[in-house]
Every structure is written in C-alpha cells, then in structure tokens.
Amino acid sequence: MFCKMSQGIQNGSSCQGTEKSNRKSSVSSKERGYDLTRNPFLNKGMAFTLEERLQLGIHGLLPPCFLSQEVQALRILANYEREKNDLDRYILLMGLQDRNEKLFYKVLMSDIERFLPIVYTPTVGLACQQYGLAFRRPRGLFITIHDRGHIPTLIKSWPGSVVKAVVVTDGERILGLGDLGCYGMGIPVGKLALYTACGGVKPQECLPIILDVGTDNEELLKDPLYIGLRHKRVRGQPYDDLLEEFMQAVTDRYGINTLIQFEDFANVNAFRLLNKYRNRYCTFNDDIQGTAGVAVAGLIAARRITKTKLSDHTILFQGAGEAALGIADLILLAMEKEGTPKQQAIKKIWMVDSKGLIVKGRASLTHEKERFAHEHPELKKLEDIVQDIKPSVLIGVAAIGGAFTEQVIKNMASFNKQPIIFALSNPTSKSECTAEQCYHLTEGRGIFASGSPFAPVTLPDGRTLYPGQGNNAYVFPGVALGVVSCGMKHIHDEIFLLSAEIIAQEVSDKHLQEGRLYPPLNSIRDVSLKMAVKIVEYAYKNNIASVYPEPKDKEAFIHSQVYSTDYEEFVVDAYAWPKEAMQIQTTNIK
C-alpha cells in the first residue's frame, strides 16, 4: 500500500486532478522568522530553499537539509502506516493540516479513496466523540449563545479577509451519533477539508464555525475534558436571534454571496432554517440537499440496471427526518422531469418513522411528513410494512443499525427481480445492513449502496461485487466550487438534481457490472470539476451568478479557480535582505 501511495505522489497525476498547469506561483509575505514556520498557509518545512531561508529569517531554524515536497509526503506516509488505529491516523493528518496545509492536501489527494474514510465518515464521527482527547489547536471560530450582540467582532477575529465558504453546525445531530455539542466542530473542519481535496476550493477562503448553544448530552456535561458550554441547550427566541445575527455578520464581513452550508442541525431546526434563509442568502443544508443529491444519483444509475424509470418504482424510507425528506423531494423533482405529475409521484413514496408507517390520520405529523402520508392502516414493524407495501426501493436513513433484518432483505428479494437497497446511515455502526448481508440474502440480485464504505463481497458463484458508497462528498465539494466561482446568489434544488445527473453519467457500464452505483472515489475530483462547470452554466443561464463579465470558456474558468498543492516560491528581493543574510549567501556562493 505504501508503494502504491508513494507512486501516486511521485507521479503527481492523482494529486493534481485535471488541472492544466504545473507552473509554480510566487508569494510575498510580511511574516518572517519563527512565526512564518508556524503558519500552515505559508510553511513549507524543509522545502524552503536557501535563498528563501535567508530572506525570510528562518536560516538556522530548520535543519540544513533540503527536502522536496514529494519526499516530505513520503515521510508522512511512512508515519501514517505506523499508526495502529484510524483515530490516531486522523490525529496525525489533522496535525499535518495545522503545520503545513499544502503538504496535507498533497497527501490527501494522492489517494483520496484511502484517506476519505479517515478525514470524513466514518472516522470523523469517532473523532468528534473523542474530540476532547483529539483536540490539539483550534481551527475555525467558536461562537457561543453568550456572544449575542458581539458576533461581528468575533467574525473580525478570523485572520482571513477573503472567505467565500462557511460550514456551520450547532452540534445537535452529528451523523447518527446525536448531540455532541462543541465536539461537533470536527464536522465543519472535515467538510471543508473535502471542499479542497475533492473540489479544489481554496482552503484559505473557507471558514469552519460551531455555534455552541450548550448540549443536552449528560455524559458531555459531566466530562472534565469537554471543551464547550456546560449547560443545557438554549432554544426558542434566543437561539433564533443568534442565528439571525450570525447570518448577518458573516455576509456583512465577507459579502452577501458567501456560501453558508448548514451541517448536522437537528430536524427541529434544519428545515425551518433552510426555508427561512434559502431565498435571503446563498445557503444549503447538506443533510437535506446533499444527501438527496447523492441518493438520487445512485437511483439514476440504477435505472440502467433495472431498465426502468424512477416513476416505475415504489419507494419506502426507513426514517422520515431531514435526509429522507430531502431525498424524497429530489426524487419528486426527478420524476416530474421524467413527465410524471407531482401528485402522482407523491403516491410512489412511503415513509416509516419511530412510530411506524406514516399514514393519513395519524397523530402528531409534521407538515413535512404530512405530504407523504397515504390512506392505509397503521403498521408498526418494518418487516410487516415491507411485506404489505412491497417496495422496489428501500432506503435507510434513520441511523438504526441493523434495521434491515434478514427477513426484510429476503422479502425485498422475493417480490423484486433486482431489489434496490440503500443503507445510507453513518457511521458504519448505524448502517441498516452490510453489503455482504444484502448481496448474500438476495443471491447477488440486490442493487446496494451505503453511506459508509464496505469491502468488496465475493459471491458463491465467484463474482466479486464492489458496493457503492453514497457519500455526500460526491456532491457538496463540486457544488461549492461552482457556487463560489460564479458568486451564486441562491442555490436552487435543481442544482442538486443536476449534480445527481452528472455523478450518474460518470458511472460506466463496467462499474455497474461490478455493483458500483458511483464512480470510483479516486475520480471524485474530476467529477467535482465537471459538476462545477455545469453549475456555472446553469447559474448564468438562470441569472443567479454575480461574477461578471460572464466567462466564455466555463471549463477554463473553473480550472483557473482550483487550488494547487504545489509549494509557492517566495519572492526573493536581495535589496531587502539583512546584511548578515547577504554575507551568508555570498559565502555559500563562493
């Protein structure tokens, strides 16, 4: 494995994606000396040349050896291989990000399929649970409920004057792990790392933020290592006032078109905040819309296997929260695009929540759930519901590990030639079933996708199937790159259907034969760039872009926006050097 990863770094091909130029850029810096070597945006470690070391006042602060970025990356990989568990590997990579950002992304992009499960799901969930232990130095902004009235001042504390993308959470629903409070900061940090690694968004233009309003997690409140506010969650009007001030402060500081991605908010807040702000700001909720994009991409790809339209299917959701409702809404949009009237499409979608099948007349249904309530007797158990409804598509998004029992899967296989089973909950412990269970219990006929990665499965007939990972990383980095590149004003739902279609188009017939519903993760950067180009085209066509003049060559425009992992050369000005530096340089030349 080390040799494979080393080859990727040395070749440079997988590190640079489809970027068209390897020219080194130059940078000048007011920072000098020790502080420069502690700045992750500028630090190059032992790759600083002698001229740079002399000019910047760091000669003597580094060992005399000079190491290229490629050699530095190999050293990181050697240390990575020595770590004994994924949490330690996560901590190693986050430490690298804190020291040398370009090297961090060089390593990450050398084998994104290998590193994605470490910096994102499932390991990031464990890292959030252990954030008190894993915490080394702060990344991003920590804004609390007690900072109301002063948020603009806190925003100004961030050193970057140009921020184009913000990922924010309040930590109440971290993956399928529940309320982790301030420990949820690992999610915005991880998401934005993928903005860059998978989409090419410049990391210095990204800002992770946690809104700490307290936590209802009693274990955290008693934990001496907990780093957040030690009181119950503040709700109601004070919470809404915090959000309102936050949105205004961010856009006042960085511009009205700043992308603000909401992440891991609980159902009670996720939909209403999205509906409240989506037409006022450039914002989206990844749990609702990003999950929808990747799930629908898998369904669109599956159509090529089943030779059917989306509207030919009966779809049952295990779960009726923000993910399920977001996917359902995007399915409706896709069915309408196929020519199915909306009301007829709604009848194809059924949902199960903690109280059982959602049907008309059932008490305490939210407005969002009410839309998918049908005339039907109430049923409680998923086995009974599957047997009665006879869905052709079963989607799990309730974070109930093992919810797709042996009986449920066998029932799906009994009345479907090719049952579509998506176990999308994260992390792996919350997955509704494993790939192996799905493939074996359906005798290899099941079309499977999951939220977390699963190993390939070899069937008794000798076939090896590679389960597709319905990872949101296929969606949000490409969406973010397209949105920030053209300064999009608002993000329409059509953007996520467009994203789903682009992802599905990148799935080859060979991939489908292997059981994959998504392109290989190592091609995710190419997918993101293609997605961004299409989004920019959509934005200008629908008059929701704010960057003018409109670029004639959209592909070249997107490539010009993409972050490069190559080290920049510091501008060398001999006249600005201290006399001692000039003397050392002269001596070395002689």
C-alpha 272/C-alpha 194 separation (Å) is 26
Does residue 111 carry a pLDDT above 90? yes
Q: Which residues pair with 143 in a beta bridge?
A: 211
For residue 131, name the pLDDT band (cuts at 50, 70, 90): confident
Of residues 105, 120, 239, 567, which has the active-site annotation? Answer: 120
Does residue 5 carry a pLDDT above 80? no
Does residue 579 carry a pLDDT above 50? no
Does residue 586 carry a pLDDT above 80? no
C-alpha 300/C-alpha 424 separation (Å) is 16
396-415 residue pLDDT tens: 999 899 999 999 999 999 99
Does residue 87 carry a pLDDT above 60? yes
Tell me what pLDDT residue 394 has: 98
Of residues 164, 191, 430, 530, which has the active-site annotation? Answer: 191
C-alpha 385/C-alpha 378 separation (Å) is 9
316-370 residue pLDDT tens: 999 999 999 999 999 999 999 999 999 999 999 999 999 999 999 998 888 889 9
Tell me what pLDDT residue 267 has: 87
For residue 16, name the pLDDT band (cuts at 50, 70, 90): very low
Mean of the pLDDT values across residues 59-63? 95
From residue 241, give the alpha-carbon distance in Å to each of 69, 235, 237, 245, 360.
Answer: 47, 10, 6, 6, 35
Mean of the pLDDT values across residues 475-483? 97
Q: Which residues contact 7 (CB under 8 A, 6 or more apart)?
A: none
* pLDDT above 90 as % of the chain: 81
- Give the mean pLDDT of the chain: 90
Does residue 20 carry a pLDDT above 70? no
156-215 residue pLDDT tens: 999 888 999 999 999 999 887 899 999 999 999 999 999 999 999 999 999 999 999 999
191 is catalytic: yes
* DSSP SS3 for 380: coil
Least confident of 260-264, 454-458, 580-584: 580-584
Q: Where are the beta strands (DSSP E) in 264-318?
A: 283-285, 315-318
Q: Give the H/E segment covering residue 262.
A: strand 259-262
Mean of the pLDDT values across residues 537-551? 96
pTM of the model: 0.89
Does residue 270 carry a pLDDT above 90? yes
Q: Which residues of 500-522 are buried (b: 16+ CB within 10 A; e: fewer)?
A: bbbbbebbeeebbebbbbbbbbb
Is there a contact between 391 and 350 (Cβ–Cβ < 8 Å)?
Answer: yes
120 is catalytic: yes
Mean of the pLDDT values across residues 88-101? 94
